[in-house]
Structure 1
Amino acid sequence: MKNVLSIQSSVVYGYAGNKAAVLPMQLLGIDVWPFHTVQFSNHTQYGHWQGMALPPGQLTHVIAGLEQNDKLPECDAVLSGYLGDSRQCEEVALAVNQVRRYNPKALYFCDPVMGHPAKGCVVANGVDTFFKNEVIALADVMGPNLHELEILSGKTLNTFDEVVYAAQQLVAQGVSKVLVKHLGKCAKDPAAFEMLMVTGRQVLHIARPLYLFPKQPVGVGDLTCSVLLAGLLNGFDDITALEYSANIVDAVMRHTWQRESYELELIESRHFIMNPVIRYAAMKL
């Protein structure tokens, strides 16, 4: 069994951060070690939310405890998402390096969650600088959406080809795989939800239905990155892992849309997560 240290937010109500990532990975046979960067009542795109970031130093103490108990050699990957305090950034980098000290083959998958004021996504100042200046050289896999890819590349992206090129530039700077988890305005088909996976060898493209919600659920990116990482750890090649990720997320989104829910229907979709039906295939460009 593979083990993942998942460093993300946590919400009491609903599904975002670790609440959206842990269960799907567990259902796919991955043991997850969750560390919560923040503890919120609910995600920040509600009208009101309460909670706090964990104090600086907590992640470092947790890693030290795992090291003292000889558990770090068992860690196969680190997954990081929402960071609630810029002081957590260096702790994440130290955690990745400490895990790799004991398991040089351990993957680091960074979901570079950045602020998006128009959507109500609140992220601490300085976190985006950490992603740009340090993570690109540290991560094996990054999972930006279009907005995050624009920040990482320093460019406004308006076409499909520009997205491909921006992802390829991240690969050239050291990232092995870049998952562009939502192409948005740059999608080939405006009626579809499209993703790209770009590596040094290939560009993969996949499209699934775009479900029209009155208000889009939060946590979809957290879910997407978690099941892609699970696929990679389970030995899937890139194209198979991408297809599993897209089709699992499609099943969850379809069920959520049918239930007219604002929160992801993860529990009711558990059978689809464990046994996804591959309806949508990835294409090599």
Structure 2
Amino acid sequence: MNILSIQSHVSYGHVGNSAAVFPLQRLGHEVWPVYTVNFSNHTGYGQWGGSAIPASEVAAIIDAMDARGALAKVDAVLSGYQGGADIADVILATVARVKALNPKAVYACDPVMGNAKSGCFVHPDIPVLLRDRVVPAADIVTPNQFELGFLTQREVQTIEQTLRAVDAVFAMGPRTVLVTSVECPGRPEGTIEMLAADARGAWIVTTPHLPFKANGSGDVTAALFTAHYLSTGSAAEALATTTASVFELLERTHQSGERELQLVQAQEAYVHPKHRFAVRQLR
């Protein structure tokens, strides 16, 4: 599978394309990364070097790839954090071009805008842009529970509310939804859940909650789920495999005591994860 991944890049650590590309390659997929920023490290450190890449330059890179015939070979476009409306315009235009050349291609969007603990951490224009223009153009979306609530303007405290919000996303256009960081009443203490749904049903998986912040884990999750879903056609199977791989990556990172994901050290987990968590069908 050929995946065009339009995301940020950091030299030190693993977020954006620096988190998504290697796991996909380890699974045997061809990945063509296009960078939207070129930073020394993720911005959670408070200081970084480098700069955002102008939308015109991102578009020029994609134009040149098209001149090589690459866009016609793309099976999936993957995007994550979007720093501005101009980048969104480039991504949406690229998706349209890819689908015109290959109608079977899909667009997987991770609508990054914030989380329940930190709230929104992007420019105020971005969540509205994602809701009104970007998500409706996507085939697969991978919001966390907080982002799902904003996209649908609904309460998502319970499983029932989360499922209704997923249905609202389906009504916007996407065909497949992965909801990460699901924290609903009734789950066992010290756990966290992830939910996937498509036209065939909805499934949920529960894992231990590792008590630390792992920047880039959502980028890995979105990338792996997209690849597994497109390879298998099964939301349940993609959910199970993605959860197993990401949990092992997080477990190894937590045990290391390092702040950055142990992405390379955990590489076997992407292909042969040791853990297997039960997937429960909700409907």
TM over 0.5: yes
TM-score (norm 1): 0.93
Measure the CA separation in 2 of the matches of 1:186 and 1:144: 19
Measure the CA separation in 2 of the matches of 1:71 and 1:208: 39
Q: Is the 8 A contact 1:160 1:187 kept in 2?
A: no
Aligned to 2:242: 245
Secondary structure in 2 matching 1:45: helix
Q: Is the 8 A contact 1:109 1:142 kept in 2?
A: yes
Q: Is the 8 A contact 2:198 2:235 kept in 1?
A: no
Q: Could you report, residue by residue, the CA deviation over 1:181-229 in whole angstroms, capped at 9, with x for unpaired residues?
A: 111355733421201112233111011111122xx11111101011111
Note if 1:129 corresponds to 2:128.
yes
Secondary structure in 2 matching 1:24: helix
Alpha-carbon distance change, 65 to 84 in structure 1, aligned in 2, over 3 angstroms: same
Measure the CA separation in 1 of the matches of 2:248 and 2:83: 30
Pairing 1:204-283 to 2, within 5 Å after superposition: 204-213=203-212, 216-283=213-280
The residue type paired with residue 269 of structure 2 is: F
Q: CA shift at 1:123, angstroms?
A: 2.3
Measure the CA separation in 1 of the matches of 2:259 and 2:5: 24
User: How many residue pairs end up in the alignment?
Assistant: 282
Q: Percent identity?
A: 35
Secondary structure in 1 matching 2:195: strand
Q: Could you report, residue by residue, the CA deviation over 1:25-79 in whole angstroms, capped at 9, with x for unpaired residues?
A: 0001111100111122211211323332111212221221122111111100000
The CA RMSD measured in Å over matched residues stands at 1.8
Q: Could you report, residue by residue, the CA deviation over 1:67-113 in whole angstroms, capped at 9, with x for unpaired residues?
A: 21111111000000011222111111000000001101001000001
Gaps of 5+ in 2: none
Alpha-carbon distance change, 192 to 115 in structure 1, aligned in 2, over 3 angstroms: closer
TM-score (norm 2): 0.94
Q: Is the 8 A contact 1:44 1:120 kept in 2?
A: no
Aligned to 2:178: 179
Moved more, 14-23 or 156-165: 156-165
The residue type paired with residue 249 of structure 1 is: V
Q: CA shift at 1:278, angstroms?
A: 4.5
Q: Is the 8 A contact 2:72 2:102 kept in 1?
A: yes
Measure the CA separation in 2 of the matches of 1:211 and 1:125: 30
Secondary structure in 2 matching 1:181: strand
Aligned to 1:97: 96
Alpha-carbon distance change, 115 to 272 in structure 1, aligned in 2, over 3 angstroms: closer
Q: Could you report, residue by residue, the CA deviation over 1:153-184 in whole angstroms, capped at 9, with x for unpaired residues?
A: 11332222111110111012221011001113
Alpha-carbon distance change, 13 to 117 in structure 1, aligned in 2, over 3 angstroms: farther
Gaps of 5+ in 1: none
Alpha-carbon distance change, 179 to 132 in structure 1, aligned in 2, over 3 angstroms: same
